[in-house]
Amino acid sequence: MDCEILVLAAQPDVLTIANAGKVSARVILEGANIPITAQAEAELDARGVLCVPDVVANAGGVICAAAEYRGAGREEAFAEIEEKIRDTTSELLERTRHGTLTPRAAADQMAHQRLSKALALRRTF
């Protein structure tokens, strides 16, 4: 089926190197955990298909859980999810804009930087 945006939200490894050539979408949102194999993701990137990594597109549940843990209600939690995913996606797209990083590599880079920052803060307490 032809589509512009493909949302993979069912199970891991549904998009592989064997079926990646059949994808006509220009954007793939990874709603499931690891729905695309590394080889398929590389092939899609080479074709100019934007694959928004699962750690970005699928982060809403974790953000919501953290907000609820702090006592946030529904509206506040959804506002936080929207803000964090929007900001993270914008940063991810900016990092990939020059073509030197794939979205997955940019997401990994962002995660490492955020973890390093959090660890540094933790050491001060």
- pLDDT per residue as tens digits for the range 78-98: 999 999 999 999 999 999 998
Residue 109 has pLDDT above 90, yes or no: yes
| Global pTM value | 0.81
Q: Percent of the chain scored above 90 by pLDDT?
A: 88
User: Which CATH number belongs to the domain containing residue 27 in this structure?
Assistant: 3.40.50.720
For residue 15, list its beta bridge partners: 36
> For residue 98, what are the CA distances in angstroms to 8, 20, 51, 63?
26, 24, 16, 29
- Number of separate domains in the chain: 1
Residue 69 has pLDDT above 70, yes or no: yes
Residue 125 has pLDDT above 70, yes or no: no
Domain ranges, residue 26 = 5-123
